[in-house]
Amino acid sequence: MTQRHDDFTTVADGTRVATYTWLPEGDVRALVQIAHGAAEHAQRYDRFARHLAGSGFAVVASDHRGHGATARETGGYGAVGAEGWRTTVADLKEIGDRTRARMPSDAPYFLLGHSMGSQLARDWAQEYAADTGIAGLVLSGTFRSLPFSEPESDIRRLEAEIESGGRDAVSQFVPELFGSFNDPFAHRTGYEWLSRDPAEVDAYVRDERCGFPFGAGLSLDWVRGVRKINDPEQFARIPRELPVHIAVGELDPCHQGLTLVHELLEDFRYRGQHDLSWHAHPGARHEILNETDRDQVQADLLEWFESHLG
């Protein structure tokens, strides 16, 4: 039976980051680290982590600053204090390193990021992939840039909000960003854009750890973080030999009809990425791991990991 361990990791600046580890019954074949998306938390990946563990993969995931159980350490949901994005990228590195140190020395290491977590994972890859021997990067529910965002005007707006109320003052930036995502779907809760499965949507709505607005500071950090990862000089820091796989829902409104996926693919192709693959799951929406065809999604991702163990 899969063993799950819940704990806090005290990172470099003293913040306690909620950390969850799933271990297989037998030998560890590889380690997969998961970076969750905006306004959710790492425990939502329990089902997928157990699926991986059932095939011999160890899994580690953590609640980002301002999210899940880490939120009470940083000022509440959506609050991160002085800095959110850069410290979260550093948290992923530190937690990954500590977990890898407990694994067999020859166990391959993968990083999977979903939605905002996929953008954090791209930043991680720019900063650390060249020196870590990572075996592969998976970007789930991803999009090149924030949909419907105009970075310079968003930055000015959020800087004004911070000057007026402080970094942790609740901002409507993220609710407005996501506000139109449900327009293509029958409206019952307002979160039907996440999945075709009503039970998964209802679980998200009931979960107080999901769907909260960000403070102005974290919102600004996100906008600046996305601008950084798309800067050509920064993008060029991702090693060409790093295997990259992109997995999205065909009807995910975050990528604007796959436009923001094709733009990201073109960035990787322009860089000459040696091993680049992608798949759009037919009819699926944003959270492919919580979709009606999640068994197939899990099987596809496991197959990709297994094909890169060498």
User: What does pLDDT average to over the chain?
Assistant: 96
How confident is the model over 12-38, as pLDDT tens digits? 999 999 999 999 999 999 999 999 999
How confident is the model over 194-215, as pLDDT tens digits? 999 999 999 999 999 999 999 9
Q: What are the DSSP calls for 109-168, one per residue?
A: EEEEEETHHHHHHHHHHHHHHHHHT--EEEEES--SS-TT--HHHHHHHHHHHHHHH-TT
Per DSSP, 193 falls in state T
How confident is the model over 128-140, as pLDDT tens digits? 999 999 999 999 9
CATH of domain 3-147+221-307: 3.40.50.1820
Residue carrying the six token digits 């911070």: 162
Show the tokens assigned to 139.
């970007």
How confident is the model over 64-113, as pLDDT tens digits? 999 999 999 999 999 998 888 999 999 999 999 999 999 999 999 999 99
Q: Quote the pTM value.
A: 0.97
Domain limits of the chain? Answer: 3-147+221-307
Assess whether pLDDT exceeds 90 at residue 149: no
Residue 62 · residue 19 · CB < 8 Å: yes
How large a percentage of the chain has pLDDT more than 90? 95
Give pLDDT, residue 237: 97
d(CA 288, CA 280): 10
